[in-house]
Structures are given as C-alpha cells and as structure tokens.
Chain A
C-alpha cells in the first residue's frame, strides 16, 4: 500500500467521506466538509498510525491531502 493510500484510508474512516472524494488536492475544509476540530482529530490519528508527532505550527500549514502526504514524507514516513 502506498503512503497516499494509507493516508486516504484514515481520512475515509475519520471524516466519513468516500474514497472518490479523496483526490490528493482535496481541501479538508472546502472539499471534505471538515472543520478545525476534525482536522485536529484526523492528525491525531495520523500521529498514532505513523508514530510521529505533529506540532501545532505544522498543523496550521496542512490544508489538503497532498499537504499531509508531503509532511509525512518529510518526517521520513514511507
């Protein structure tokens, strides 16, 4: 499973959206109907799943699925 697929699996589960909606450029707030609390919860799930820590400053930079994937790659997640 690619990193993108793993991330999208978590998003589908957490945000109750369809896989089709989860294109990489999808914005959590504008396209996937998430609010700021949803994003906090989602990134907590990512921390758990990939055993990393996401600082609050980093959280603010994350708007799209691609942003999450890029961020995880930077942290060395495969």
Chain B
C-alpha cells in the first residue's frame, strides 16, 4: 500500500507578517502587504513597489555572525524552519536524523549578495571578495544550512524551478517519503529577491505592475485592470511526515498531502500557451495521484500572478479540466495580498491551502473590483469565506514552462 504523507508543522515569513499566525490573520482579513521599495533606491525604476518582509529580526533565530554571512533568503529559511519544527513539536534525534531530509526551493538564491560582491569585485578587486560570498549565493544553501542546524542527514535537494520552486520542493519531498527514502521532510520555498537585478530584469520583461501610486491595489489577479505581478519576498516551510511515523509520535496532523502533478509546457521560456494545457495536465495528474475526480476539488489556491496572460490562461485551464464544476469550486489568489514571492510562493501558498482545510476559511482575492470578462470563476473576491472543505489544490507555474500542482486533503483515518 502507498505510504501516506501528512503535514504536521508550518512556518512562514511573508510581507503580511513575520510568523504564520500574523500572515494568516492578515490574509483572512484581506490585507495587502505591498508598499514602496525600501531595500534599495528604486527611483530610477519603472516599478517602485514590492512586498517586503518588515521589521524582521534575524537575531531571534541565528547569531550575529550568521546574520552577517548569510543572504536573506537563507535567514528567512532558517527562521521559517525554526517555526515549522517548533510547530510540529519535532525533535530530530540521532535515531531519525538519517530518515529526515530537507528540500527547500528558491528561484534565484542570494541575489543581493551577488550584487554586493560583484560591486566589491569591480571596485576593489578579487582579493576583497568575501570568503562567504559563494555559500551565501548558492540557492541550495537554504537546504544546506537547515540540514546542518537540525542534523537532518537524509535526502537533500533544491529545485530551482523559478516561480514553481517551492511547489517542486514540496512535491519532491512528498515523493521522497512515498518512495520510502525518508520519514520526515523539512520542505518549502524561500526567496529574497527584492533586489535591483530582479526588479530591473523583470521590469525589462514588462512583467511587473507599475501601479506605484497605489501599492495596496497593485496586485489584482483576475481584475481587468491588472498590469503585471508585484515582486514579493518570503518563506514558507512545512514539515511532512509519513503517516504512521506521525501517529506513533502523537503529532498533530493539519492535513494530508494526497497528490502531486508536474508537467512542462515545452512552449516558451516565459509565457504560458493559450489554454495552458500543461497546467491542465499537472492538475489532472495531481488529482489522479490522489485517486480522486476533478469534482472532488473544493478550492484552488491559484497561481494568479496578476499578469494579463497568466490569469486568463489559468482560468481557461481550470475551466477545461473541471468543466461544470469550475462554476462551483472556489479559486483565490493570495498573491493579491503577498505579491509574488517567486520561489517562496509555492511554500507559502501550500500553507494557505493546508490552513484553508484545517481552519475552514478560504482566503480571498483582494482588489478584484472589475473582474476581467473572461475571468469568470468564483475567485472569493474581497472577503475571506468560512466554508468547510475536504480538498485544496495549490497551483504554481514557473518560467521555463514548469507547472507544479499539489493537492491536499482533510486527514481521515
């Protein structure tokens, strides 16, 4: 019989709050975490807004030396992992260390460190480069530092699948447990890319919202006036455990991870194809993996980036897979509040999907003032909705044509 995988711990750090509780409360209150960029002088950029982490004190989690040496994407991951491990009341003893793995995805890794060290190199020469530059830049060092901290000696990896990285990480972690290679996985996504290279680069692709005068209204998925995504930063990490392992230690179970689907568009480096058939297939595979039918899905935490193409094609994909049921199921984009946290988004949104099942509350899509005519699903506009649900899906799609979809279910014996 297939090994079952359950979610037992959650940790998050987002533009909405520096803990899961603050993030979730802000999300179900329909607040926006977007504001003017403070991390660098953005006055010469077309886009001058982002979803930044605010008032984060890394010294709550690490020492002074680590703060100096690690890029923010690693510090966020250490903080969120700390929250998730504590939330799961998990002790990674020597008895389970080799059966505990870590997979944290990141789209870019230490982008700010790249900027700083390259400036350093150009201005002062190679002798002045920090010996800690490379381990601060490498995207897999979030996983690496977490494994070192907890003595987690099982499988380790780092998907760098752009905006799907956090979802790829959780999906691969799920499979790692199903295949029997680990009993516990610390997994999710992290990103700290409110940085010149990212805001400049995505800006150059015309992918970002330029609604600089109204930051709170800038991320507006499925709205006819949406004009691009808003870069966010953050981290979402969850603890996955094999069911009997979790039961034996008396762990609290939030939900079960019941399906994962991953496909490629094989179409374009950045754009999805009309109808987004790759997304249709990844959702179908996740549902099939769970042994369910499309009409069993109650809620989709959409990729919903607030770009003209994504929101239209994702809607088309949902309609083409779910048919009549597309009119009934709830779809929301929490990016309307957090912005698009790139590689972290899959981690955070998987947590929202789990919380929706566990709490019976669906977080809303805010700023949906004038829905696009062709975006005509129930996007849970403006206000969170109390509703008991049994299944929640989390969609994320990344540059390079990655479509990664997780399906969570209410845990039943």
Q: Which residues of A contact B (CB under 8 A)?
A: 14-16, 37, 40-41, 44
Q: Is the CB of A16 within 8 A of B65?
A: yes
What is the predominant secondary structure among interface residues of chain B facing chain A? loop
- Tally of contact residues, B, Cβ under 8 A: 7
* A-B complex: 3 closest residue pairs judged by Cβ atoms: A16-B65, A40-B131, A37-B131
Do B130 and A41 touch across chains, with their CB atoms under 8 A apart?
yes
In the assembled complex, the CB of B35 is this many whole angstroms from the nearest CB of chain A, namely 33
Q: Distance (Å) between the CB of A36 and the closest chain B CB?
A: 8
Tell me if B64 counts as interface (CB < 8 A to partner A). yes
A and B contact pairs by CB, cutoff 8 A, 11 listed: A14-B65, A15-B65, A16-B63, A16-B64, A16-B65, A41-B130, A41-B131, A41-B132, A44-B128, A44-B130, A44-B131
Instruction: Point out residues on B near A: beta carbons under 8 Å.
Output: 63-65, 128, 130-132
Residues in B neighbouring A16, C-beta threshold 8 A? 63-65
Closest A residue to B65 by beta carbon equals A16
Closest chain-B Cβ to A9's Cβ sits at a distance in Å of 14
Residue of A nearest to B69 (CB): A41
Main secondary structure of the interface of A (DSSP, over half): helix
CA distance A46 to B63 in the complex (A): 22
A49 CB to closest chain B CB (Å) equals: 14
List of B residues within 8 angstroms of A40 by Cβ: 131
By a CB distance below 8 angstroms, the chain A residues around B131 are: 37, 40-41, 44
By the criterion CB–CB under 8 Å, are B65 and A37 in contact?
no
| Complex CA–CA separation, A68 to B275 (angstroms) | 66
Alpha-carbon separation in the docked complex, A44 to B131 (Å): 10
Q: Which residues of B contact A41 (CB under 8 A)?
A: 130-132
Closest to A53 in B: B127
Complex interface: chain B residues within 8 A of A14 (CB): 65
Extra contacts besides A40-B131, A41-B131 (12): CB < 8 Å: A14-B65, A15-B65, A16-B63, A16-B64, A16-B65, A37-B131, A37-B132, A41-B130, A41-B132, A44-B128, A44-B130, A44-B131
Q: How far is the CA of A16 from the CA of B130 in the complex (A)?
A: 17
Nearest chain B CB to A17's CB is how many angstroms away? 9
B132 contacts across to A, CB distance below 8 A: 37, 41
**Measured CA separation A41–B128 after assembly (Å):** 10
> Which A residue's beta carbon lies closest to that of B129?
A44
Q: Give, as a whole number of angstroms, the nearest-CB distance from B129 to chain A.
A: 9
